[in-house]
Amino acid sequence: MPATPSGLAVRARALRKEFGSFAAVDGIDFDIARGEAFGFLGPNGAGKTSTMRMIACMSPRTGGELEVRGMDPATDGRAIRAGIGLVPQEDALDTELSVLDNMLVYGRYFGIPRRAVRARAEQLLEFAQLSERSDAKVDALSGGMRRRLVIARALISSPDLVILDEPTTGLDPQARHLVWERLYRLKQEGVTLVLTTHYMDEAEQLCDRLVVMDRGRIAAEGPPRQLIEQQVSREVLELRLEDADEGRALEALKGLADRIEELPDRLCCYGEDGDELLAAVIDAGVHPNGVLVRRATLEDVFLRLTGRSLAD
Amino acid sequence: MSATAPRLAPLWRITPVTTSLALASRVVARNLRVYRRGWMYLLSGFVEPFLYLLSVGVGLGHLVGGLQVGGRAVTYAQFVAPGLLAAQAMNGAIFDTTYNLFYKLKYAHTYEAVLATPVGTNEVALGEIGWALARGTTYGAAFLGVMAGLGLVLSPWGVLCLPVVALVSFAFAATGMAVTSFMRSWQDVDSVALALLPLFLFSGTFYPLGVYPSAVAWLVRVTPLYQGVDVLRAFSTGTPSWSVCWHLAYLLALAGLALAITSRRLRRLLAP
């Protein structure tokens, strides 16, 4: 443990995780303040889940420094885990138990006294809008209900740090919004949230700050809006063109657009003002088959930093 | 905090045993909660050896006549009952740490969430083994009661059968868990039954080792179930000798070795 804990929820320096000769996490630095919502973005295999598992003290680090809740996972894993709630990627619910029993049994793993755990479980099932299903078997729940149950379960020990690995993957829009709303309430209560996600809108909605990971390293870091401004321009013009027109369009945009990305089906032109870019193209006598002017999003940042090719 | 690669210390060394045991007991409590609804399934474990005792011990016993155990004349039922007791301790314990454990490890991912709590891999191992041990011992106690009722326990030494049943359960539960930690498919798991059946049939359960050629008899002497059979028979017939100590040491060593392997393997499997 460091001589003086940093006062941060999580602090990592040159953090590494190797499996054999493969470095899943290749020396990363980050700070997560208490009460902050912090996101890890990145393609599959970028090292997000490995990082999460190290923070959750479920996997020993191979090198570097890591401090979680003021303690060192290498020596104080049990004490750290006592204050962490985990929402794993796979629900890992106990399918042999009912909804309520899942909560009760899980609470007992934290050493919560029997009577206290029941009161807390009922309260949390209320929070997750699952009170009516408390006697149901886990298998009988919908995907959204299961996810809510997993979040409720993660909160049974009143953790000050909640780790969520892809909390809304596979959920329908209604279920996603309900999960977001609950997570937002947690954040209001001062709980530190650490999450991974593939959904850029989710990251923009929930995260105060985030890092984009790629191949075990951190490619960029900052608040969502700031990342967009730094990494890509404010607006994007997407053009669908006849092949014959492409040369002329590119000529017209030269010097105007900050960056042009040529995709098989369209051109993405990044710039301060999308309409201005479009006007230049029209003036050059090009008639696009399709036009979209939009604000740049985190997804543009993500694709710029981690490329468009599939990771696996 | 140093920048050199830290290794996660084994939890047992840095945690007071009381905490570890308390947490392991929560794993046992979880299983108890599951089977509270499945008591019929638990009951079946009592019935099987009882049926064997009636058909083989009492029925077949009429044809077989008496035998000698440690210089004492006993009926066939008195001979075979402690053998069935040992086999029951084995069967009652090993199912939970093989089939059930494999399901939890590979399919249910039950421990994925458990290990995010203060419970660690060692507590999972202790808890699951503890549960299997409790189950094997409960079956054994009931069967021992039946034996006593039928006049198949011949001496006050018979009281010691119960802790021995617990030890046999413990050794097989731990061994089952160690073996399961290496398994990859259901075919592997099914091979457990293939290994248990010859143990059940040939460990001196139904007849004395004297019927084997000496090489085979020696082979049986180093197999695990035989240790339990011989000790339980010595106690239930009231004919203990110093060889009992050797059998008990064997079972303890087996349990210890299996626990050590399990502890290593679970950490590799669940907390890589």
- Cα–Cα distance list, B50 to A54, A72, A200, B79, B170 (Å): 51, 54, 63, 15, 22
Q: Are B110 and A90 in contact (CB under 8 A)?
A: no
pLDDT for A225: 86
Would the pLDDT of B4 be above 60? Answer: no
In this prediction, residue B11 carries a pLDDT of: 41
Q: Tell me, what's the pLDDT at A136?
A: 94
Q: Which residues of B fall within a CB distance of 8 Å from A60? A: 6-8, 271
Give the model's pLDDT for residue A293.
Answer: 93
Rg (CA), chain B: 20
- B168 within 8 A of B141, measured Cβ to Cβ: no
**Closest in A14, A19, A56 to B3, CB measured:** A14
- The predicted model gives B146-165 an average pLDDT of 94
Which of chain A's residues have a Cβ under 8 Å away from the Cβ of B116? 56, 58, 81, 84-86, 88
pLDDT band, residue A304 (cuts 50/70/90): confident
Under an 8 A CB cutoff, do A19 and B33 touch? no
Q: How confident is the model at residue B81 (pLDDT cuts 50, 70, 90)?
A: very high
Q: What is the pLDDT of residue B9?
A: 41
Nearest to B117 among A72, A104, A109 (CB): A109
Sequential DSSP letters for A185-229: HHHHTT-EEEEEES-HHHHHHH-SEEEEEETTEEEEEE-HHHHHH
ipTM reported for the complex, 2 dp:
0.83
Q: Bridge-partner residues for A214, per DSSP?
A: A217
| b (16+ CB within 10 A) / e for B127-144 | bbbbbbbbbbbbbbebbb
B22 C-beta neighbours (distance < 10 Å), count: 13
Mean pLDDT of A43-56: 92
DSSP B58: I
> E strands, B152-231, where?
none
Q: Which residues of B touch A85 (CB under 8 A)?
A: 116
Q: How confident is the model at residue B12 (pLDDT cuts 50, 70, 90)?
A: very low
Is residue A299 within 8 A of residue A228, CB to CB? The reply is: no
Under a CB-based contact definition with an 8 Å cutoff, are residues A306 and A218 in contact?
no
> Taking a C-beta distance cutoff of 8 angstroms, is the pair B174, B129 a contact?
yes
* pLDDT at site A194: 97
Q: What is the pLDDT of residues A202-245, one digit of tens each?
A: 898 899 999 999 999 999 999 988 888 888 888 999 999 888 88
In sequence order, which residues have a C-beta less than 8 Å from that of residue B47 and are 6 or more positions away?
A: none
Mutation target vs A (from B25, B41, B115, B123; most A CBs, 10 A cutoff) = B115
Contact A82 B120 (CB under 8 A): no
Contacts B118 to A, Cβ<8 Å: 78-79, 81-82, 109-111
Please tell me the distance from the alpha carbon of residue A165 to that of residue A90, in angstroms, as a whole number: 9
Beta-carbon contacts below 8 Å between A and B:
101
β-partners of residue A292 are: A238
Looking at beta carbons, which residues of chain A come within 8 Å of B33? 97, 101, 104-105
Q: Is the pLDDT of residue A248 over 50?
A: yes
Residue B39 has pLDDT above 80, yes or no: no
Please tell me the distance from the alpha carbon of residue B166 to that of residue B159, in angstroms, as a whole number.
Answer: 12
- How many Å from the N-terminal Cα to the C-terminal Cα in chain A? 37
Q: What is residue B10's DSSP assignment?
A: P
* Cβ-defined contact of B117 to A19 (cutoff 8 Å): no
Question: Hey, what domains does chain A have and what are their CATH numbers?
Answer: 10-222 (3.40.50.300), 233-295 (3.30.70.980)
Region A9-35: mean pLDDT is 95
Long-range CB pairs of A73-78, under 8 A, 24+ apart, other chains included: A73/B8, A74/B6, A74/B7, A74/B8, A74/B9, A75/A1, A75/B9, A75/B14, A76/A1, A77/B8, A77/B11, A77/B120, A78/B11, A78/B15, A78/B19, A78/B118, A78/B120
Write the DSSP symbol of residue B54. I
Poorest-pLDDT segment among A51-60, A289-298, B21-30, B41-50: B41-50
Residue type, A114: R
Q: Does B117 touch chain A (CB under 8 A)?
A: yes
pLDDT over 70 (residue B14): no
Distance of alpha carbon B106 from alpha carbon B182, whole angstroms: 11
Of A168-172, A282-286, B234-238, give the range with the top mean pLDDT.
B234-238
A55, A89, A94, A146: best to mutate for the B interface, most B CBs within 10 A: A94
B112 and A110 within 8 Å at the Cβ level: the answer is: no
pLDDT in tens, B89-142: 998 888 888 988 999 888 888 898 999 999 999 999 999 999 999 988 988 999
A270 with A258: CB under 8 angstroms? Answer: yes
- Strongest mean pLDDT among A144-148, A173-177, B31-35, B79-83: B79-83
Give the residue-averaged pLDDT of B8-37.
74
Give the Å distances, CA to CA, from A253 to A266, A271, A275, A296, B59.
14, 10, 12, 18, 98
Domain ranges of chain B: 13-270
Spatial separation of the C-alpha atoms in residues A54 and A28, rounded to whole Å = 12
What would the mean pLDDT of B181-194 be, rounded to a whole number? 90
Q: Is the dihedral of CA B145, B146, B149, B155 positive or negative?
A: negative
Nearest to B271 among A19, A59, A111 (CB): A59
Average pLDDT over residues B24-43: 83
Q: Mutation test of the interface with chain B: which of A68, A78, A112, A147, choosing the one with the most B Cβ atoms within 10 A?
A: A78
For the residues of A275-312, what is the DSSP string, one character each? HHHHHHHHHTT---SEEEEEE--HHHHHHHHH-SS---
Q: How far apart are CA B263 and CA B121, in angstroms?
A: 7
Which 22-81 residues of chain B touch chain A by CB within 8 A? 22-23, 26, 29-30, 33-34
What pLDDT is recorded for position A303? 84
Q: Report d(CA B135, CA A308) in Å as an integer.
A: 56
**Residue B6: predicted pLDDT:** 40
> Pairing state of beta strands A37-41 and A192-197?
parallel
Which of A19, A105, A150 is opposite residue B33, by nearest beta carbon?
A105
CB-based contact, B108 to chain A, within 8 Å: yes
State both tokens at A259: 């960056």
Helix (H, G, I), strand (E, B) or coil at A34: coil
Q: How open is the CA angle A278-A281-A286, to the nearest 5 degrees? A: 125
- Categorize the per-residue pLDDT at B155 as very low, low, confident or very high, splitting at 50, 70 and 90: very high
**pLDDT-derived band at A101, boundaries 50, 70, 90:** very high
Nearest 5°: phi and psi at A209? -145, 155
Asked whether the predicted pLDDT for residue A117 surpasses 60, the reply is yes
Token pair in block for residue A116: 């206290």
Q: Which two tokens stand for residue A136?
A: 């149901």
Q: Is the pLDDT of residue B5 over 50?
A: no
> Which residue from B minimizes the CA distance to A64?
B3
For residue A97, the chain B residues in CB contact (below 8 A) are 30, 33-34
